[in-house]
Amino acid sequence: MTVPFALFAAALAIAATVFACGTVSDGNGGDADKATLTVFAAASLAESLRALGAAFEAANPGVRVAFNFAGSQTLRTQLEHGASADVFASADWRQMVAVKEAGLLGSAPQCFAANRLTVAAPAGSDAVQSLHDLATPGVTIALAAAEVPAGAYARDTLGLLSADAGFPDGFADAALSNVVTNEANVRGVAQKVALGEVDAGIVYETDAKAAQYAGAVRVVEIPEQFNPAAKYPIAALAGGRLETALAFIGFVQGHNGQAILREHGFAPPATAAYPCQASEASGG
């Protein structure tokens, strides 16, 4: 029994060191000698994690970070079908829990960022000026597909609005009848809005404010009581580069990583407005 215990103790020591400094040992060779850390991450994290990846590489010259950005449910399916990766960062707990239940996680998932929804509309269109306009006949709306975290959150928001006395009965059904496209990820929704192909879309605040859409979209804010907080969990994957994965996760959760996330519009992972409890990692 002493050998397994020793291995377990060594793993704990590695994790403690990794999370404390966010760095890993690096070699002295060129790019060909670099270890590649593969990160599967939600599409809404693209700009922020690319910036985080560059900062992590600068702190760890022996590591190259490679990203695969897509809808969280697409990434989950890829992992379930054998795709190889070291880190999974999801836009909701549901997809993370599915990966956990498939036995694919190498560490406990932890929340590292939060986001909220907003209605995005083309800057040159006045078809949607308020939330009520989403249910106006003839208005065209883009949503992420229902199985995508952003799409599920958007439908939750429409349900909350429909249940409020300030909105007419059947508001959610009327708004959903105006949906003309269900995109594979939230960036697809933002792109449709920016190109003026729809009158409105429900996206994350970070997407609406992304630099590439500056001047192309305007926002109609969704009040907090109708706006479910999107919480982003991250975890190392089994069978990958565990030490490097834990170092990257530690960097994301550390001071520098959180500063980069704030620069891109994300909220801290756990505040009164954005609760993030570990118990959610084992729930639906």
Please check whether residues 101 and 11 belong to one and the same domain. Answer: yes
- Cα–Cα dist 200/130, whole Å: 11
Please check whether residues 152 and 205 belong to one and the same domain. Answer: yes
Rounded to whole angstroms, the maximal C-alpha distance in the chain is 70
Please check whether residues 259 and 178 belong to one and the same domain. Answer: no
Parallel, antiparallel, or unpaired for β 217-221 and 110-115?
unpaired
Other CB atoms within a 10 A radius of the CB of residue 18 amount to: 21
- Cα–Cα dist 247/24, whole Å: 6
Residues 6+ apart with CB under 8 A from 34: 27, 61, 62, 63, 64
Other CB atoms within a 10 A radius of the CB of residue 44 amount to: 31
Please check whether residues 50 and 99 belong to one and the same domain. Answer: yes
Please check whether residues 149 and 47 belong to one and the same domain. Answer: no
Q: What is the overall mean pLDDT for the chain?
A: 88
Residues 6+ apart with CB under 8 A from 256: 22, 55
Please check whether residues 193 and 145 belong to one and the same domain. Answer: yes
**Phi, psi (rounded to 5 degrees) for 66:** -115, 135
Question: What is the domain extent for residue 139?
Answer: 117-226
What is residue 117's predicted lDDT score, i.e. its pLDDT?
97
pTM above 0.85, yes or no: no
Residue with tokens 């069978």: 239
* SS3 of the chain: CHHHHHHHHHHHHHHHHHHHHCCCCCCCCCHHHCEEEEEEEEHHHHHHHHHHHHHHHHHCCCEEEEEEEECHHHHHHHHHCCCCCCEEECCCHHHHHHHHHCCCECCCCEEEEEECEEEEEECCCCCCCCHHHHHCCCCCEEEECCCCHHHHHHHHHHHHHHCCCCCCCCHHHHHHHCEEEEECCHHHHHHHHHCCCCCEEEEEHHHHCCHHHCCCEEEEECCHHHCCCEEEEEEEECCCCHHHHHHHHHHHHCHHHHHHHHHCCCECCCCCCCCCCHHHHHCC
Please check whether residues 128 and 266 belong to one and the same domain. Answer: no
Q: Which of 226, 241, 271 is the last residue of a domain?
A: 226
What is residue 83's predicted lDDT score, i.e. its pLDDT?
98
Please check whether residues 125 and 221 belong to one and the same domain. Answer: yes
| Residue range 20-55, pLDDT digits in tens | 345 554 444 445 568 999 999 999 999 999 999 999
Q: Which of 190, 209, 226 is the last residue of a domain?
A: 226
Please check whether residues 241 and 107 belong to one and the same domain. Answer: yes
CATH code, 267: 3.40.190.10
Structure-block tokens of residue 257: 């990583």
Please check whether residues 199 and 149 belong to one and the same domain. Answer: yes
| Residue range 96-122, pLDDT digits in tens | 999 999 999 999 999 999 999 999 999
Domains of the chain: total: 2
pLDDT band at 163 (very low <50, low <70, confident <90, very high): very high
pLDDT band at 273 (very low <50, low <70, confident <90, very high): low
Please check whether residues 49 and 135 belong to one and the same domain. Answer: no
| Residue range 176-225, pLDDT digits in tens | 999 999 999 999 999 999 999 999 999 999 999 887 788 899 999 999 99
Please check whether residues 139 and 103 belong to one and the same domain. Answer: no
Question: Which of these, 108, 133, 112, lies nearest to 261 by C-alpha position?
Answer: 112
- Cα–Cα dist 219/206, whole Å: 11
